[in-house]
């Protein structure tokens, strides 16, 4: 059975994962309107992944005798001045998510809830991957700058990113 504190912390993470899904969705839609099909495809897929992260938590809380709290949808507030500002926000967000997972791991250990600790290890690994992906994308964007040709090629690369097992950005 989950403690009240751990349930609260896990439910907070449910909301964070839901917010992540909305952030990627917002970026996907924006990129689509700008004509960047590859970036849009990548972001739509990431948004779905984040929703899965949220669902996994919801099911876990309920499975452990808790009550999952389904959050309201928040509107993302992103700066679209450039791709650089956009992807920087994404990277910062993933760092924030990793920190939040670390805090959860800490609480589970403090409470000696080893089942939750074990459950959270999947998120720990996932965040390593997501942070690395966001960092790689940001590095590329920093290199490309405002070069239209570079952006075109980058967009093409991202089109196949999800099928390629996230290796070739
Ligand atoms: Fe849920 O992994 Fe990113 O935020």
What is residue 97's predicted lDDT score, i.e. its pLDDT? Answer: 98
Q: Which domain holds residue 33?
A: 4-68+79-168
Whether residue 73 is contained in a domain is answered as: no
Residues lining ligand 1, CB < 6 A? 17, 20, 50, 53, 94, 97, 126-127, 130
Give mean pLDDT, residues 91-104.
Answer: 97
Whether residue 162 is contained in a domain is answered as: yes
pLDDT at 136 > cutoff 70: yes
Full-model pTM: 0.93
Q: Which numbered atom of ligand 1 lies nearest the CA of 17?
A: 1
- Centre of ligand 1 from the C-alpha of residue 50, in Å: 6
Angle between helices 114-144 and 148-159 (to 10 degrees): 150
- Centre of ligand 1 from the C-alpha of residue 125, in Å: 11
Residue 148 pLDDT level (bands cut at 50, 70, 90): confident
What is residue 82's predicted lDDT score, i.e. its pLDDT? Answer: 86
For residue 45, give the CATH number of its domain.
1.20.1260.10
State the average pLDDT for the chain.
93
Q: Which numbered atom of ligand 1 lies nearest the CA of 127?
A: 2
**How many structural domains are present in the chain?**
1
Whether residue 29 is contained in a domain is answered as: yes
pLDDT at 60 > cutoff 90: yes
Q: Which numbered atom of ligand 1 lies nearest the CA of 130?
A: 3
Quick check: helix, strand or coil at residue 20? helix
Whether residue 131 is contained in a domain is answered as: yes
DSSP secondary structure letter of residue 162: T
Q: Which numbered atom of ligand 1 lies nearest the CA of 16?
A: 4
How far lies 65's CA from each of 2, 12, 62, 120, in Å?
7, 17, 5, 17
Whether residue 23 is contained in a domain is answered as: yes
- Centre of ligand 1 from the C-alpha of residue 149, in Å: 30
Whether residue 74 is contained in a domain is answered as: no
pLDDT at 13 > cutoff 70: yes
Contacts 24+ apart (CB under 8 A), 30-38: 30/78, 30/80, 30/86, 36/151, 36/155, 37/155, 37/159, 38/154, 38/155, 38/156, 38/157, 38/158, 38/159, 38/160, 38/161
Whether residue 59 is contained in a domain is answered as: yes
Whether residue 92 is contained in a domain is answered as: yes
């Amino acid at each position: 059975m989950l403690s009240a504190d751990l349930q609260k912390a896990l439910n907070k993470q449910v909301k964070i994962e839901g917010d992540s899904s909305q952030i990627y969705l917002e970026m996907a839609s924006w990129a689509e309107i700008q004509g960047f099909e590859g970036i849009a495809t990548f972001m739509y897929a990431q948004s779905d992944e984040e929703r899965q992260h949220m669902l996994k938590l919801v099911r876990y809380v309920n499975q452990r005798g808790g009550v999952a709290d389904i959050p309201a949808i928040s509107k993302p507030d992103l700066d679209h001045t450039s791709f650089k500002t956009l992807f920087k926000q994404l990277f910062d967000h993933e760092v924030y998510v990793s920190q939040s997972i670390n805090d959860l791991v800490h609480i589970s250990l403090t409470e000696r809830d080893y089942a939750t600790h074990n459950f959270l290890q999947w998120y720990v690994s996932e965040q390593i991957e997501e942070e690395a992906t966001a960092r790689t994308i940001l590095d590329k964007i920093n290199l490309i700058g405002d070069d239209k040709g570079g952006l075109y090629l980058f967009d093409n690369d991202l089109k196949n990113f999800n099928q390629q097992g996230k290796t070739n950005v």
